[in-house]
Amino acid sequence: MNCETCQLKELVVEPPEIREVLRCILHTILFHRALGLVRPKDVECELFDITYVQCEDHELEKKIDEKINQFIGWVEKHPNRKSQVCISFYEVKNKHATWFGNKIERFYWEQWYINLHIISPKPHGKSHNTKAHVVTGENAFEESNSRCAALESSLREVLFQIIKFVNEKKDHIPPLQNSEIVSYPYEISTPR
Amino acid sequence: MASPSESDRKIITRFLHKTLHAVVASRVPRLHHAAAAGPASPKNDRWFHLALDDHPSPADHHGAVVDPLVFDILLTRRGCSDVIVERWTARCVPPVPWSAASPHHPHDGSFLRRTYKKCTILLRSIYTLLRLLPVHRIFRLLCSSSQPYNYDLCHKVLSFAAPFSRAQEAELKQYSFAPVETMLGHLVVSVQYRPSLTNFNLEVSLPTPPLIITDYVGSPAADPMRPFPSSLPDRMSHPIVYQYPPRGIRTLAAPSFDRPHSWNSASMVHHHLSSAPGPPDSELLPGHYGHLVPNQRSSMERKGSSGFGEFKLSPPCSTSPSPSPPTRVGNSQLSRLHSETSPVSIPLPATENNQMHRSPNFSDPFKSLFPPPSPRSTRTDLSFRESPSKSISFRKPDGFSLGDIHSNLHMHAAYKVIKDGRDDSGRFSALSSGGSPGYGFSSSSRQSIQDDLDDEDFSYPFAFDDVDTSDSQTRSLDGKEASENSGSHKSQEAAVGILVHMLKTAAPLRQDQSCSMQSLEPNGEASISSSVMSRKACDALEELQSYKEMKNLLLSKSGAKLQDSVKQRKESSEALS
């Protein structure tokens, strides 16, 4: 069984946008991999004009938020860096009982790499001239708007990429072994 | 137990139904509202582990499994033709029977499970894509907002749809999902959609276009000087304002005092002229009314008027310089005008020979402006006398009109002059020397004024602080006047006036006070009050002499008593010895 890996398109985000972007991507991925009985819930992004779908599972939401907080904490310590958040699906096999204990093996059958380029917001240029300061502020506002629109477009592309991947790659998915919402064990990895 | 092909058929059928259900639920607001309003069904469609809300069944795929299922999402706009914004196509493409690439699928349950799993994933992808397409934004607006829009979304389910033209296809984008292999073929789902909807004028529709009221009259808080619109009847737009004497017609472009009231003369002018248009209340002049009073209404003039018997109550006139808010004149106002009193004539400058103005003159437009004259004003008229009963029966207006105030002021001034004249000699001399307050009056008029003062309607005398005069001369003068008055006035009002006058001019109490003081003080020294100081010196000397006599008398009496007591003691002592 091979492990399918999907490298998502890199997104240039500012620290305040990290949470929204990661929520959108992680929930979309997990919605496609939660093959148990799911009541979908539409969620509209606050920063972008995008609606994504969540599984109505509080445990799942809580776990995702914890990982996002962990990543944001790391970003605060390491600003202006490229980083990745990885979500991996595995199955547990071959519990080998040994003298020293049970050995649990994980076989990852799918990994998703969310590539983020964290940038700090640009401060307004200091100028003693009031007119120049006003012009600088207007330019910064326009730049911010254009950057936000580009991020929204990129995020939409990422979601399309997810849909395409999950539909093209189905054979590697292991068979359902339980009736839980999230049918397959997973883990979300953040930089340390 | 069903054969694998039957299971496959069922999976495919259910998949198509579920796909249609998911698309319609995400595109048709009508069905979305119906599902939200309806009761929650305990049995949700759990096929493919995707629990969706119950919707009215849009359509069932009644054809063969291999028959395509096409559902168009239409954007309907008011006054425009429907436009297909999305076309979903789901079908099971059978394999080519003669193709060598047709796979050989084992007839076990694993394939079915995989097929079912893949359909589950595909359905989730369809569900996610439905929210990423541009039409979903319109769906959200239509579902969330209660405002009416000029567009709507509807759907159409077809088993066969005519292909788009080249021009239409150029405007559309297509996305096809990866097919799911089944035993009966490949499940293929694709969508053709418009990437942008900015070409369509989608906006909130208003039920009625805004209308501008051009003839809005406005509230009382509005500008009172705004002219009435021309939509009102002509008689309203051309009010008639009367001056004295009444002349002409004035337009609405008037100064601030051009606002009439219904009780003003202008309204009364046209009251009995039923054919004539009544002016609106706001067109007459309160200021004009004020202008009339000093010229026309004086105490002399009022005497000639006797229309009070026929006079009906009229609302008080406002003396405020600010205009009242405009009032719309309608039938109610006109009816009120007609129901008000008939005009009463205003007496002209009174002369004894002018008797015409003493009778009610209904043609006089200004009669209603003033309250009816008091009965006293008619007494001096030798030719016209009101009976006491009739004079009492007249009704005073509810309010206190300006004319009434002015006439009372005249009375007040006249009375004060007389009172001042009746006071000490100093003041009286001032009067006699011609220091009149400016109200020239002859002896005959003075008498008439006195008559008026004695009238019960005149309340001002009670407000004065009478300077008490114990002067015998003043009392004698008052007594003479009282006798003269009592002889000439036989009405009850005159009698009361006489009584009031007598009370005012009654002798003070200090003489009694002085006697009591004398009895209390055996020394006989009576204190002199401040009022004594005002008397004349001769009076004071006379009184002093009388005190001396009293003193001597008392002393003599006391001395006699002492002598008697001394004698008695001597006698008693002698008797004892």
| A-B contacts at Cβ under 8 angstroms | 67
A52 CB neighbours in chain B (<8 A) are 128, 131
Q: Which residue of B has its CA nearest to A167?
A: B178
User: Nearest CA to CA, how far is B121 from chain A (Å)?
Assistant: 6
- The pLDDT of B541-546, averaged and rounded, is 90
Residue from B49, B55, B40 nearest B14 by CA:
B49
- Residue B299 neighbours by CB distance under 10 Å: 25
Chain A contact for B36 (CB, 8 A cutoff) = no
User: What CATH number is given to the structural domain containing B43?
Assistant: 3.30.900.10
Asked whether the beta carbons of B386 and B301 are under 8 A apart, the reply is no
pLDDT band at B489 (very low <50, low <70, confident <90, very high): low
Q: Which residue of B has its CA nearest to A25?
A: B128
In B97-145, alpha helices (H):
109-130, 135-144
Q: Choose the closest CB to B49 out of A36, A51, A173.
A: A36
- The pLDDT of B96-104, averaged and rounded, is 57
- The pLDDT of B443-470, averaged and rounded, is 43
Residue from B390, B380, B517 nearest B447 by CA:
B380
Least confident of B108-122, B218-232, B280-294, B557-571: B280-294
Number of folded domains that form chain B: 1
State residue A132's pLDDT score: 55
Q: Which residue of A has its CA nearest to B112?
A: A175
Q: Which of B115, B128, B177 to mutate to test the interface with A (most CBs of A within 10 A)?
A: B128
B117 CB neighbours in chain A (<8 A) are 35, 170, 173, 175-176
A50 CB neighbours in chain B (<8 A) are 132
Tell me how far apart the alpha carbons of residues B260 and B317 are, in angstroms, rounded to a whole number: 10
Asked whether the beta carbons of B122 and B177 are under 8 A apart, the reply is yes
| Residue B461: DSSP 8-state | G
Tell me how far apart the alpha carbons of residues A111 and B325 are, in angstroms, rounded to a whole number: 81
A53·B49 Cβ contact <8 A: no
State residue B103's pLDDT score: 54
Sign of the CA dihedral with B210 first, then B211, B212, and B215 last: negative
Please identify among residues 408-437 of chain B the ones whose CB lies closer than 8 Å to any CB of chain A.
none
pLDDT band at B36 (very low <50, low <70, confident <90, very high): low
- Per the model's pLDDT, the better-predicted residue between B565 and B465 turns out to be B565
Pairing of strands A40-44, A51-55: antiparallel
Chain A contact for B137 (CB, 8 A cutoff) = yes
A44 CB neighbours in chain B (<8 A) are 140
A166·B121 Cβ contact <8 A: yes
- Residue B367 reports pLDDT greater than 50: no
In chain A, alpha helices (H):
15-33, 58-77, 130-168
A152 CB neighbours in chain B (<8 A) are none
C-alpha Rg value of chain B to the nearest Å: 55
Tell me how far apart the alpha carbons of residues B49 and A31 are, in angstroms, rounded to a whole number: 11
B468: in domain: no
For the segment A175-189, what is each residue's pLDDT rounded down to a tens digit? 877 777 778 899 999
Tell me how far apart the alpha carbons of residues B363 and B343 are, in angstroms, rounded to a whole number: 6
pLDDT band at B445 (very low <50, low <70, confident <90, very high): very low
Report chain A residues touching chain B, CB-CB < 8 A. 28, 31-32, 35-40, 42, 44, 49-53, 156, 159-160, 162-163, 166-168, 170, 173, 175-176
Q: Choose the closest CB to B131 out of A53, A166, A175.
A: A53
Tell me how far apart the alpha carbons of residues B19 and B92 are, in angstroms, rounded to a whole number: 13
Quote the strand ranges of B48-195, DSSP E.
69-77, 83-93, 151-158, 173-176, 180-181, 186-193
How far is the first Cα of chain A from the last one, in angstroms, to the nearest whole number?
29
B485: in domain: no
Chain A contact for B173 (CB, 8 A cutoff) = no
B121 CB neighbours in chain A (<8 A) are 32, 35, 166-167, 170, 173
Q: Tokens representing B134?
A: 């541009």
Q: What is each CA distance from A82 to A74, A118, B390, in whole angstroms? A: 12, 6, 111
| Residue B256: DSSP 8-state | G
State residue A54's pLDDT score: 93
- Residue B206 reports pLDDT greater than 50: yes
Cα angle: B533, vertex B539, B540; to 5 degrees = 50
B178·A52 Cβ contact <8 A: no
Least confident of B257-266, B340-349, B375-384: B375-384
- Per the model's pLDDT, the better-predicted residue between B190 and B460 turns out to be B190
- Dihedral, B91, B97, B99, B100 alpha carbons, nearest 10: 120
Least confident of A33-47, B193-207, B287-301: B287-301
Work out the burial of residue B407: count CB atoms within 10 Å of its CB; fewer than 13 is exposed, 13-18 middle, 19 or more buried: buried
| Residue B198: DSSP 8-state | T
State residue B192's pLDDT score: 94
State residue B135's pLDDT score: 92
B136·A51 Cβ contact <8 A: yes
How far is the first Cα of chain B from the last one, in angstroms, to the nearest whole number?
171
State residue A175's pLDDT score: 83
Residue from A133, A72, A84 nearest A113 by CA:
A84
A38 CB neighbours in chain B (<8 A) are 49-51
Highest mean pLDDT among A79-83, A161-165, B296-300, B557-561: A161-165
- Residue B365 reports pLDDT greater than 70: no
- Per the model's pLDDT, the better-predicted residue between B171 and B522 turns out to be B171
For the segment B382-403, what is each residue's pLDDT rounded down to a tens digit? 444 444 444 444 444 444 444 4
State residue A150's pLDDT score: 93
Supply the DSSP string of B350-380, one letter for each residue: P-TT--GGGS--TT-TTGGGSPPPPTHHHHT
pLDDT band at B133 (very low <50, low <70, confident <90, very high): very high
Full residue range of the structural domain in which residue B51 is found: 4-97+107-200
| Residue B48: DSSP 8-state | G
Least confident of A159-163, B71-75, B270-274, B285-289: B285-289
Q: Choose the closest CB to A37 out of B51, B117, B178.
A: B51
- Residue B541 neighbours by CB distance under 10 Å: 10
Residues with Cβ within 8 Å of B350's Cβ and at least 6 positions away in sequence, in order, are B300, B301, B302, B303, B304, B357
Give me chain B's average pLDDT, please: 63
Grouping H, G, I as helix, E, B as strand and the rest as coil, residue B158 is strand
Pairing of strands A102-118, A4-7: parallel
User: Nearest CA to CA, how far is B49 from chain A (Å)?
Assistant: 4
Q: A119-122 long-range contacts, Cβ below 8 Å, gap at least 24?
A: A119/A12, A119/A13, A119/A14, A119/A80, A120/A14, A120/A15, A120/A79, A120/A80, A121/A14, A121/A15
Q: Choose the closest CB to A176 out of B117, B131, B137.
A: B117
Q: What is each CA distance from B17 to A163, B33, B520, in whole angstroms? A: 21, 20, 128
Superfamily of structural domain A4-91+103-117+135-189: HORMA domain (3.30.900.10)
Chain A contact for B131 (CB, 8 A cutoff) = yes
- Residue B331 reports pLDDT greater than 50: no
Q: Tokens representing A8?
A: 């998502």
- Residue B317 reports pLDDT greater than 70: no
Domains of chain A: which residue ranges?
Answer: 4-91+103-117+135-189
State residue B200's pLDDT score: 72
A50·B140 Cβ contact <8 A: no
User: Nearest CA to CA, how far is B160 from chain A (Å)?
Assistant: 26
| Residue B57: DSSP 8-state | -
User: Nearest CA to CA, how far is B233 from chain A (Å)?
Assistant: 59
- The pLDDT of B74-94, averaged and rounded, is 87
pLDDT band at B69 (very low <50, low <70, confident <90, very high): confident
Residues with Cβ within 8 Å of A116's Cβ and at least 6 positions away in sequence, in order, are A10, A11, A13, A18, A21, A22, A82, A83, A84, A85
State residue A192's pLDDT score: 82
- Residue B271 reports pLDDT greater than 60: no
- Per the model's pLDDT, the better-predicted residue between A134 and B565 turns out to be B565
Tell me how far apart the alpha carbons of residues B266 and B285 are, in angstroms, rounded to a whole number: 8
Chain A contact for B105 (CB, 8 A cutoff) = no
Tell me how far apart the alpha carbons of residues B49 and A35 are, in angstroms, rounded to a whole number: 7
Sign of the CA dihedral with A65 first, then A67, A73, and A74 last: negative
User: Nearest CA to CA, how far is B110 from chain A (Å)?
Assistant: 9
B49·A35 Cβ contact <8 A: yes
B169: in domain: yes
- Per the model's pLDDT, the better-predicted residue between B156 and B427 turns out to be B156
Point out the residues of chain A with pLDDT beneath 70. 1, 94-103, 123-136
